[in-house]
Amino acid sequence: MQVSQAILTRRSHKLFRGTALPDVDLRHLLELAIWAPNHKFTEPWRFTVVPKRSLDKLWDAVQAAADSDKARSKLPKLKEIIEGAGAAIAVRQVRSPDNAERDREDYAACAIACQHIQLGAWERGWASYWTTSPGFVGGSLEAFWQTAPGERLVGVIFLGEAALEMPAVRHNPSDSLAVWL
């Protein structure tokens, strides 16, 4: 698959068929992620990999973290995502609190690492869903993701075999969003 084809055809999928991703594929996706550009080679990313065989532990953590009626009302939707997924990868950023510019650059590098994971998964036939939903990120879930002091969670990427085809969403033409000098 050509890079441009992967970019144009990849979609976010929240529903998966439950097929486990092989560990070799997960390792390949991490290898792609660490090739994201990062200023001065800071390598600001850290990963928490949850293979299919451990997703039940994520579900337990998500349930325990649901500490309000609003959070508990979202549990059925979150359960459907977790149960169908074949794996999940959390991307964490090592922060630079004394250097706002570095911190911003490192966050961007981690976001690119997330995109590398998604494009690499798509190339191998796996669908993905990158989320920053409070149901999966933040609060007491920081311990589950093993977010160390001085780190922040950039997002969680669920991976698996797509349960249904996602149609393309129409975007504004690039010329309508660009200023040419």
pLDDT confidence band for 1 (50 / 70 / 90): confident
For the stretch 46-64, pLDDT in tens is 999 999 999 999 999 999 9
Domain count, the chain: 1
The rounded percent of the chain whose pLDDT value lies above 90 is 85
pLDDT confidence band for 139 (50 / 70 / 90): confident
Domain presence at residue 51: yes
For the stretch 72-130, pLDDT in tens is 999 999 999 999 999 999 999 999 999 999 999 999 999 999 999 999 999 999 999 99
What pLDDT, on a 0 to 100 scale, did the predictor assign at position 170? 75
Amino acid symbol at 69: D
Domain presence at residue 170: no
CATH at residue 144: 3.40.109.10
Residue 85 and residue 128: Cα distance in Å, rounded? 9
Domain presence at residue 56: yes
Show the domain range for 133. Answer: 3-165
Domain presence at residue 172: no
Domain presence at residue 178: no
Domain presence at residue 173: no
Domain presence at residue 180: no
Query: Going along the chain, which residue ranges are E strands?
Result: 45-51, 87-94, 127-131, 151-160
What pLDDT, on a 0 to 100 scale, did the predictor assign at position 22? 98
Domain presence at residue 66: yes
